[in-house]
Amino acid sequence: MNTTLNISAYKFVTLLDAIALREELLARALALQLKGTILLAEEGINLFLAGNAESVHGFVSQLHTDARFADIAPKESWSDHQPFKKMLVKVKREIIRMDHPTIQPSTGRAPAVDAVTVKRWLDQGVDDEGREVVTLDTRNDFEVDLGTFNGAIDWRITKFTEFPQAMLDHKAELEGKTVVSFCTGGIRCEKAAILMREAGLQNVFQLEGGILKYFEETGGPHYTGACFVFDERRAVAADLSAVELPSADAA
């Protein structure tokens, strides 16, 4: 029986009090008996939490009382067990490391496209202006290998810090196309879309909410396989249920 609510959310927003906020959020999460990971940096917040629904929703409600996080809308899924072993709140240099300091999403997002629109574009093969639509997977290679959009561009990066150079190497291949960058929950593809726009690519969008929101709102057409998640479930299917993966020594 699925009794554990799992949420993931992020927001790029300037946080000058990340260290003090760490203590506050850790105490709040522990009081609610939640487990998971919250990352804080000057550029924003990134969180993965799990627990009973009342506690999870209570944490989010409290988070919304801070004006900086008032519009955070977590993605939800359910599991039959607690997928995290402990509760961690960490202060980092970046909530998703790109090592490209000029990219600051808190100062302005790249245009986003919602899941339903992406599905429609993929059904058509073109966007609403008739341009060819391509999907660009901004995740690491092992994540892509578990599942991705059909025909997605995959540059076989092993860590996100490799993305800026890969983009420069392949930029010409994207010219004149509508590019939808995507990732698990939206955080990497948001930075990637900003980087590509700053590099001069005109028709670049981030998939709002990433693969998880796409699964939630469309059921997953045009996507084959599972989506890697950052907890002990390891991967979820298009219906957001946990997927059993073969063990490394199964072969």
What CATH architecture applies to the domain 4-91? 2-Layer Sandwich (3.30)
What CATH architecture applies to the domain 105-236? 3-Layer(aba) Sandwich (3.40)
**24: nearest Cα among 14, 35, 12, 38:** 38
Are the C-beta atoms of residues 185 and 75 closer than 8 Å to each other?
yes
Residues recognised as catalytic: 183
Range list for CATH 3.40.250.10 in the chain:
105-236
Question: Mean pLDDT of residues grouped by 10 in the chain (251 residues)?
Answer: 90 93 97 97 94 98 97 91 95 85 65 96 96 97 97 97 96 96 93 92 94 95 95 89 67 37
Range list for CATH 3.30.70.100 in the chain:
4-91
pTM of the model: 0.83
At 163 the three-state DSSP class reads: helix
At 184 the three-state DSSP class reads: coil
State the pLDDT at residue 248.
45
Q: How does strand 178-182 pair with strand 204-207?
A: parallel
- 205: which residues sit within 8 A by CB, 6+ positions away? 110, 111, 112, 113, 178, 179, 180, 181, 193
Q: Residue 130 is encoded by which pair of tokens?
A: 């008739």
State the pLDDT at residue 99.
76
**207: nearest Cα among 228, 226, 223, 185:** 185
State the pLDDT at residue 101.
65
